[in-house]
Amino acid sequence: MLDLFSEIEEPEREELKALRKELEEQNYKYYVLNAPTMSDREFDEKMHRLQALEAQFPDMYDPKSPTQHVGSDLGKKGFEQVKHRYPMLSLANSYSREEIEDWVRKLPSGVEIVCELKYDGLSISLWYEHGILVKALTRGDGQQGDNVIDNIKTIPSIPWKIDRTDIPEFFELRGEVLLPWERFEALNKEREQQEEPLFANPRNAASGTLKLQDPREVARRGLDAYLYYMLGENLPGATHYERLDTARQWGFHISDAIKVCKNVDEVMAYIAYWDTERKNLPVATDGIVLKVNNLAQQEELGYTAKTPRWAIAYKFPAEKQLTLLKEITYQVGRTGVVTPVANLEPVQLSGTIVQRATLHNEDFIRSLDIQPGDRVWVEKGGEIIPKIVGRADREPSDPRAPRTPSFPTHCPECGAELVRVPGEAAWRCPNEAGCPPQIKGKIEHFVSRKAMNIDGLGEETIDLLYRQNLLHNIADIYDLKLSDIAAQERLGEKSAQNILDGIEASKQVPWARVLFALGIRMVGETTAKKIARKYNTIDALQWATAEQLCAIEDVGPQIAENIVAYFNDIRNLEILERLRQAGVQFEGEAEAEPTSDKLAGLSIVISGTFSQHSRDEYKAMIEAHGGKNVGSVSKKTSFILAGENMGPEKRKKAEDLGIKLLTEDEFLGLIGS
Ligand code: IVH
């Protein structure tokens, strides 16, 4: 006889298993890859469904289920792993007044509730011992995290030391590390120019940045932090609000947007105000956090396995709008990748007008099943890059349904037949030397700041010179004459001369950066450095086999193939020969790896004469310890390494700006030499 019950239950048990797998995968994408593919709301809904199913089938209890632990960002190499003194928990989410009322109902009557902004970055735990910052831990799996203290020390608002006598021996401050909108947009712009994948939102960018092994790059990107929770023994204050106020007095960056509320109406008013006002903040927020103010009451309420009972998050609704997909156009990038772009009827979303959104590749369009004429959902949520998340149902009578739009077979720019490399999602135009956006893109990459750094030769000028047949490849740059450039609209003799000076100066750019500038597919800045360290002349590199190249750290078979293919192309060899004739550096001493990060993120001016080492030796020491030697004193200068007879003007400027002077001995002490 059929077991009717188990047959009915079976699909739900299967659903439970599938949900566990799906949520585990999402945790990995969110915490480790920094590339979630599901909205927070969808994640929460699935988590609730899983909780309900687990309650229905207690025999399927599993301590490893995603309902039983918080997601983990562990697993990146190179950081010390440290056990948290107090587990780093997550917060339960709510989305409506009703859910907030439900939560408040479970609290003792008359409690005070502190409302704070929910910053959308990643949590950090800062340990202070005797007033000194000794550890900075990521959440990790909630039990132990990575010690990213060197990267955290690049954040100007986080004190390395608290000089007070009224502080406890040990305390911990928790908060959120963020990449401000402005920095995030600049970083993505830079990545776009280099055809590196963009960060979907500032949270992912902050997370990727904090996990970098190079504090100098971290410092350059400009992280910030807001702190919202103080823990430890013998701390002053009986309420959360008082503790944060104390932390503020100790010099910590605590938001001013904190309010003690007495009832749900006041909470809702705070939410309504910040739902609009947050758009003017320099950093991303995705909700509000509500916390019981009284610490004794907090303790009484306690914790579940994953979240405190004394706090809850309210998430702002993701902004989503329906709009018309007018047309799909195709963009060709520097490496020939063809990217479909949705052209939309302009629509207001999170304070900006959206009229374009990337469709990534052919598979993405297929998965959405969209075509021009459809009404599509555009979402921005906490993210700045709008994305299309689905489409409205078509009318049953709509003659367009269903049809998958066909991806072009030929390049929209030059007409060459597109190719799709097996295993890659992208279609590519193979006409490297004849396709205008590829030609211009390669030149733009070559002159960019991290490559040859030729100032003044921007996108527009490159386009003008290209259209006049003066610029067809990177070698043509070195044949440009003053009159060619000065003849361009909006470019006078002065800017033309600046460009020529920039071109001249680029002949001093070291070999590793020249290699990066050549734009060999997948050879990024770091890979180029590693290759140049092994092959310190282009001639040596030209004859390297794919197998030999693969022996270099970070160089896999694909990159090795790309390098070999680059040198097998006669057109490239001609260009390289012309660059050599022009005086571009094709060889150089292998750049030394920094010996420490002690000066990471610091800009140091050297001034005066010295007795123990030469100026050049000091310069090399600064660089070897991760610092930057700069020529003139400004408010960005960290300190001045001051010798005898320092110029009076520099001294005055340093005094005015309050910049410290270090003697030779002090400097050598600092780097432990
Ligand atoms: S309190 C035990 N306050 O939200 C609870 N968290 O979804 C400690 N977050 O892991 C957290 N702003 O990274 C708190 N004002 C705020 C916050 C905040 C952002 C983050 C935090 C936490 C996550 C939970």
pLDDT reading at 423 higher than 80: no
Least confident residue range of 194-203, 236-245, 328-337, 613-622: 194-203
CA–CA separation, 139 vs 136, rounded Å? Answer: 10
224 bridge partner residues:
178
Lookup result for tokens 């310069």: 619
pLDDT in tens, 383-418: 567 889 889 888 777 665 556 568 999 999 999 999
Q: How far is the CA of 290 from the centre of ligand 1 (A)?
A: 10
Q: Which of 29, 83, 118, 259 is catalytic?
A: 118
Q: Inter-axis angle of helices 181-193 and 202-210, to 10 degrees?
A: 80
pLDDT in tens, 378-389: 987 555 678 898
Pocket test for ligand 1, best of 73, 90, 123 (most atoms within 8 A of CB): 123
Instruction: Summarize the confidence of residues 19-41 as an average pLDDT.
Output: 77
**Helix runs in 352-480, H state only:** 362-368, 436-447, 459-467
Q: Which residue is closest in CA terms to ligand 1's atom 22?
A: 90
Query: What's the pLDDT at 33?
Result: 60
Look at 295 and 335; give whichever has higher pLDDT.
295
Query: What's the pLDDT at 1?
Result: 42
* Strand 224-231 with 144-147, pairing: unpaired
* Three-state secondary structure readout of 218-270: HHHHCCEEEEEEEECCCCCCCEHHHHHHHHHHCCCCCCCCCEEECCHHHHHHH
* Strand 320-332 with 337-349, pairing: antiparallel
Q: How far is the CA of 122 from the centre of ligand 1 (A)?
A: 9
pLDDT in tens, 193-237: 666 677 878 888 999 999 898 888 898 899 999 999 999 988 999
Q: How far is the CA of 201 from the centre of ligand 1 (A)?
A: 18
Query: What's the pLDDT at 627?
Result: 84
Instruction: Summarize the confidence of residues 540-562 as an average pLDDT.
Output: 91
CA–CA separation, 499 vs 263, rounded Å? Answer: 64
pLDDT reading at 637 higher than 70: yes
What percentage of the chain has pLDDT greater than the value 90?
54
| 35 — pLDDT class (breaks 50, 70, 90) | low
Structure tokens at 535: 């092959």
pLDDT reading at 170 higher than 80: yes
pLDDT reading at 670 higher than 60: yes
Q: How far is the CA of 21 from the centre of ligand 1 (A)?
A: 25
Q: Which residue is closest in CA terms to ligand 1's atom 21?
A: 123
Query: Rounded to the nearest 5°, which phi and psi values hold at 356?
Result: -140, 145
Query: What's the pLDDT at 339?
Result: 92
Least confident residue range of 75-84, 462-471, 539-548, 639-648: 75-84
Pocket test for ligand 1, best of 176, 292, 301, 312 (most atoms within 8 A of CB): 176
Instruction: Summarize the confidence of residues 599-628 as an average pLDDT.
Output: 83
Residue 259 designated active-site: no
Q: Is the dihedral of CA 258, 260, 261, 266 positive or negative?
A: negative
Beta strands in 86-238 (DSSP E): 93-94, 113-119, 122-129, 132-138, 144-147, 170-178, 224-231
Instruction: Summarize the confidence of residues 638-659 as an average pLDDT.
Output: 84
289 in ligand 1 pocket by Cβ < 6 Å?
A: yes
Least confident residue range of 183-197, 214-228, 271-285, 493-507: 183-197
Whether 301 and 309 have beta carbons less than 8 Å apart is answered as: yes
Query: What's the pLDDT at 195?
Result: 64
pLDDT reading at 34 higher than 70: no
| 491 — pLDDT class (breaks 50, 70, 90) | confident
Order of strands across the sheet that contains 628-630: 628-630, 603-607, 639-642, 660-662
Whether 450 and 480 have beta carbons less than 8 Å apart is answered as: no
Average pLDDT, the chain: 88
Query: What's the pLDDT at 592?
Result: 64
89 in ligand 1 pocket by Cβ < 6 Å?
A: yes
| 13 — pLDDT class (breaks 50, 70, 90) | very high
Whether 456 and 502 have beta carbons less than 8 Å apart is answered as: yes
CA–CA separation, 542 vs 520, rounded Å? Answer: 13
Instruction: Summarize the confidence of residues 624-637 as an average pLDDT.
Output: 82
